[in-house]
């Protein structure tokens, strides 16, 4: 069974703080533990819609200054420990961006050397503070935290990001339609929402013959307000893999099966894989994510999905629970603190 790990492109980068920032450091901290643990692919998110952990033509790389100013905009976002836990992420990205190989270049090379596919993932409409979207083309809504997805200038900007990812040699493109609602102002008619997302997906499809992947809500009533029509997209042959997911950080009770997606995959004019998402916590994200599914529950869920016909399992936001060595404890000796949380190892 394929196992795909979503690197959210942010939190785990702190693991590289204090290193020399070499390709070997990136491999050791971000790639090798996944290979040892038996993952087949990395879905590498370049972080948020308007700030990136690698070089792009738009020059919107994450910096310590940006993170510090963002924290001053919203001190509650990261808490009092941000200076020691969050700001170093900016140092890491700046260090790699100043080298011949930026962080994504290193991850692609290390992943390929270890037999992992590396996909390039873009959060299509996500910002935690308005500052992150300053200068991004297109009209804003939702208190300047989201872009109107109908806007042609905004879609063109996103397409340029995907072009930059392809130039780095990724093995496919991943579109995250779920990374934070809403995509549209409340007044936008449903038909316009469907049309905007379909238009964008068709435009991305013209960029490459490499696999095209979409993460979507498995419940139509949750995804349709964001313009999602994944079953129709599959029937049209636009996608090579679909990640049915619980909606926008909602809890995952591990008790659902995406039967409609299995059926739609059979109607696709070419093979389309179904990789249901595993979300690590059974309770709301904002309730505090200390309660998480035990590793045995995760293993059982993977087995149930495989028995139901899934082609793989997509591990989303497991990166929020600490170093990847928890997935591969043999990589290094663990501290007592890490041992206390050993049930994350799979």
Contact 119, 44 (CB under 8 A): yes
pLDDT digits (tens, 9 = 90+) for 64-122: 999 999 999 999 989 999 999 999 999 999 999 999 999 999 999 999 999 999 999 99
- Is the preceding peptide bond at 182 cis, omega within 30 degrees of 0? yes
**pTM for this one?**
0.94
pLDDT digits (tens, 9 = 90+) for 128-142: 999 999 999 999 999
Q: What pLDDT is attached to residue 209? A: 97
* Unique residue bearing structure tokens 């059979």: 266
Given a cut of 70, is residue 343 above it in pLDDT? Answer: no
Given a cut of 80, is residue 37 above it in pLDDT? Answer: yes
Please name the residues in contact with 212: beta carbons below 8 A apart, sequence gap of 6 or more. Answer: 172, 173, 175, 201, 204, 205, 238, 239, 240, 241
Query: What is d(CA 60, CA 194) in angstroms, rounded to the nearest whole number?
Result: 29
Q: What pLDDT is attached to residue 183? A: 93
Q: What pLDDT is attached to residue 271? A: 97
Ranking 10-19, 63-72, 287-296 by mean pLDDT, the lowest is 287-296
pLDDT digits (tens, 9 = 90+) for 203-252: 999 999 999 999 999 999 999 999 999 999 999 999 999 999 999 889 99
Q: What pLDDT is attached to residue 332? A: 57
Report domain extents, the chain.
Answer: 2-215+297-344
**2-215+297-344 fold:** TIM Barrel (3.20.20)
Contacts 24+ apart (CB under 8 A), 231-236: 231/260, 231/261, 231/264, 232/198, 233/198, 233/201, 234/261, 234/264, 234/265, 234/267, 234/268, 234/272, 235/264, 235/267, 235/268
Name the pLDDT band for 202 (thresholds 50, 70, 90). Answer: very high
Q: What pLDDT is attached to residue 142? A: 95
Query: What is d(CA 161, CA 274) in angstroms, rounded to the nearest whole number?
Result: 25
Given a cut of 90, is residue 345 above it in pLDDT? Answer: no
For the segment 29-43, the average pLDDT, to the nearest whole number, is 97
| Bridge-based pairing state of the strands 146-147 and 140-141 | antiparallel
Query: What is d(CA 54, CA 51) in angstroms, rounded to the nearest whole number?
Result: 9
Name the pLDDT band for 297 (thresholds 50, 70, 90). Answer: very high
The per-residue pLDDT of the chain, averaged, comes to 93
Q: What pLDDT is attached to residue 323? A: 87
pLDDT digits (tens, 9 = 90+) for 311-328: 999 999 998 888 898 888
Name the pLDDT band for 283 (thresholds 50, 70, 90). Answer: confident
Strand order of the β-sheet with 173-176 is: 273-274, 241-245, 212-217, 173-176, 117-123, 41-45, 2-7, 312-315, 277-278
Name the pLDDT band for 46 (thresholds 50, 70, 90). Answer: very high
Contact 249, 223 (CB under 8 A): no
């Amino acid at each position: 069974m394929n196992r795909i790990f979503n690197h959210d492109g942010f939190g785990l980068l702190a693991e590289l703080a204090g290193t020399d920032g070499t390709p070997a450091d990136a491999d050791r901290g971000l790639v090798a533990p996944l290979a040892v643990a038996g993952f087949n692919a990395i879905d590498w998110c370049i972080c948020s819609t308007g700030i990136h952990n690698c070089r792009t033509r738009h020059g919107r790389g994450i910096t310590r200054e940006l993170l510090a100013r963002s924290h001053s905009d919203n001190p509650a976002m990261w808490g009092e420990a941000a200076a020691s836990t969050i700001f170093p992420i900016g140092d890491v990205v700046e260090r790699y961006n100043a080298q011949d190989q930026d962080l994504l270049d290193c991850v692609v090379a290390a992943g390929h050397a270890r037999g992992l596919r590396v996909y390039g993932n873009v959060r299509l409409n996500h910002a935690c503070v308005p500052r992150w979207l300053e200068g991004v083309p297109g009209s804003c809504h939702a208190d300047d935290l989201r872009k109107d997805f109908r806007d042609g200038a905004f879609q063109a900007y996103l397409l340029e990001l995907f072009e930059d990812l392809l130039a780095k040699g990724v093995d496919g493109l991943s579109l995250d339609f779920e990374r934070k609602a809403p995509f549209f102002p409340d007044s936008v008619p449903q038909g316009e929402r469907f049309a905007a997302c379909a238009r964008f997906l068709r435009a991305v499809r013209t960029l490459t013959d490499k696999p095209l992947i979409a993460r979507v809500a498995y419940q139509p009533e949750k995804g349709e307000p964001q313009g999602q029509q994944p079953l129709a997209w599959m029937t049209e042959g636009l996608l090579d893999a679909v990640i049915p997911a619980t909606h926008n950080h909602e809890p995952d009770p591990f008790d659902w099966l995406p039967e409609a997606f299995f059926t739609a995959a059979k109607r696709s004019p070419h093979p389309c894989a179904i990789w249901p998402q595993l979300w690590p916590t059974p309770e709301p994200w904002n309730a505090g994510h200390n309660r998480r599914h035990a590793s045995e529950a995760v293993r059982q869920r993977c087995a149930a999905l495989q028995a139901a016909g899934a082609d793989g399992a997509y591990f989303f936001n497991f990166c929020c629970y600490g170093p990847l060595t928890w997935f591969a404890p043999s990589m290094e000796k663990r501290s007592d603190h890490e041992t206390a949380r050993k049930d994350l190892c799979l």
